[in-house]
Amino acid sequence: MKVSGFSKHFLIWAKIIYHILGNYKTKTLCKLGYFKTTTGSTHSRFSSVSDSLKYINQVFQDYLSFAELSVKDIKGKRILELGPGDNFGVALKFLIAGANKVTCLDKFYSDRDELQQYQIYKAIRDELSQEEKRSFDSIIKLNNHTREFEFIGNKFEYLYGKGIEQAIEIFLPASFDMIISRAVLEHIPNLDATFNTMDKLLRPGGYMIHNIDLRDHGIFTSVGLHPLTFLAIPEKIWKLMTEHSGKPNRMRLDYYKHKMEELNYNYRIKIILSSTLPMIENIKPKLQPEFKKMLSEDLLPETIFLIAQKSRNNPSADE
Ligand SMILES: C[S@@+](CC[C@H](N)C(=O)[O-])C[C@H]1O[C@@H](n2cnc3c(N)ncnc32)[C@H](O)[C@@H]1O
What tens digit of pLDDT does each residue of 209-268 get? 999 999 999 999 999 999 999 999 999 999 999 988 889 999 999 999 999 999 999 999
Residue 182 CB–ligand 1 contact under 6 Å: yes
- How far apart are alpha carbons 212 and 253 in whole angstroms? 10
The pLDDT value recorded for residue 317 is 47
The pLDDT value recorded for residue 5 is 73
What is the domain class of 35-214 according to CATH?
alpha beta
Q: Which atom of ligand 1 is nearest to the CA of 194?
A: 19
Rounded mean pLDDT, 70-79: 96
User: Across all residues in the chain, what is the average pLDDT?
Assistant: 94
pLDDT > 90 in the chain, percent: 88
pTM (two decimals)? 0.93
Rounded mean pLDDT, 263-277: 96
Helix extents (H) in 67-113: 71-74, 89-96
Q: Which atom of ligand 1 is nearest to the CA of 109?
A: 25
Residue 249 CB–ligand 1 contact under 6 Å: no
CA-closest residue to ligand 1 atom 14:
83
- From 106, 186, 212, 217, mutation site for ligand 1 pocket: most ligand atoms within 8 A of C-beta: 106
For the purposes of burial, counting CB atoms within 10 Å of the CB of 251, is it exposed (0-12), middle (13-18) or buried (19 or more)? middle
231 C-alpha to ligand 1 centroid (Å):
22
Residue 106 CB–ligand 1 contact under 6 Å: yes
pLDDT band at 283 (very low <50, low <70, confident <90, very high): very high
Residue 89 CB–ligand 1 contact under 6 Å: no
pLDDT band at 86 (very low <50, low <70, confident <90, very high): very high
The pLDDT value recorded for residue 31 is 86
Residue 183 CB–ligand 1 contact under 6 Å: yes
Q: What angle do CA 238, 163, 106 make, to 5 degrees?
A: 110
pLDDT band at 2 (very low <50, low <70, confident <90, very high): low
- From 35, 58, 184, mutation site for ligand 1 pocket: most ligand atoms within 8 A of C-beta: 184
pLDDT of residue 318 exceeding 60, the answer is: no
Residue 246 CB–ligand 1 contact under 6 Å: yes
pLDDT of residue 315 exceeding 70, the answer is: no
User: How many CB atoms neighbour CB 246 within 10 A?
Assistant: 22
- From 104, 107, 160, 208, mutation site for ligand 1 pocket: most ligand atoms within 8 A of C-beta: 107
The dihedral of CA 75, 188, 158, 304: what is its sign?
negative
pLDDT tens digit string along 53-64? 999 999 999 999
Indicate the domain borders of the chain. Answer: 35-214
